[in-house]
Amino acid sequence: MHTRTHRVLSVVAGAAVVVGAANIGAYAANGHPILLGHGNNETRPTTVVNHGSGAALSVTTRDDTPPLEVSSQAKVARLNADRVDGMNGGDVSAYTYALPEVFDRQSFSMSFPKLPTGRHYVASYWLQADMNVSTDGVVCELLGTKLKGDPAEDDLAISASRHAFQATAGATGFVSTHNHVVTLECETDSGDANIGSVFFGQVTFVPVGRTHSAEAKVLP
């Protein structure tokens, strides 16, 4: 009887050790293997080194599930994002165009070569011009000419000003190059004056991935 009881206690103790070890393994800590599907706690960094070709770590998941989740907003050094808000990392750079020299003209237009199509941008332009008539100014518009369908042009951003013999124009607007060709058109206020010269000006396109529309409210 005593021997049987001793054996039963030994089996129970051994089972407890196994269960305890399994429970510890479910929350692997320093020096233990990482267990998938369970919590893993460490007090030191875990390093993955691949001496062969290919990535050191590959994470695969469903299309509607993020492959990684982090708890800190701290910046990760040398982490290059391949896609940001639906765009490739290299596509978030702004495109800036300097206005060409313009002399003694009533109007001029400007195109934007190498501006990627099929994209959305926040476009801003600014220029300063000398006028040969002090009471005349310059009017500029960013126009989106549709490639198909309605031949009309969309006024995207318009600006006009005058001051003595100098005029400035500048505006910001949301533009799309989806089936559109964007141009900047400038002309004098009247046919009695000329733009003596444009000595400074530029147009900048900042790519945006997504936009969200909301109704604005006028404060009393």
pLDDT digits (tens, 9 = 90+) for 189-203: 777 778 888 877 899
What angle (nearest 5°) sits at the alpha carbon of residue 173, between those of residues 167 and 179? 120
Of 206, 208, 209, the C-alpha closest to 97 is 206
Q: Which pLDDT does position 38 carry in this prediction?
A: 83
Q: Which pLDDT does position 27 carry in this prediction?
A: 56
Q: 88: helix, coil or strand?
A: strand
As beta bridge partners, residue 183 has 143
Query: pLDDT confidence of 19, banded at 50, 70, 90?
Result: very low
Task: Please write the tens of the pLDDT for every residue from 68-81.
Answer: 888 888 888 877 76
The whole-model pTM stands at 0.58
Of 186, 202, 203, the C-alpha closest to 123 is 203
CA 173 to each of CA 52, 100, 144, 208: distance values in angstroms, whole numbers, following the listed order: 50, 21, 11, 12
Q: Which pLDDT does position 152 carry in this prediction?
A: 53
Mean pLDDT confidence for 166-180: 83
Beta strands in 102-194 (DSSP E): 102-105, 107-110, 120-131, 138-146, 153-161, 166-176, 180-188
What CATH number belongs to 91-208? 2.60.120.1340
Give the phi and the psi of residue 21 in degrees, each rounded to 5: -65, -40
Domain ranges for the chain, please list them.
1-46, 91-208
Whether the CB-CB separation of 111 and 97 falls below 8 Å is answered with: no
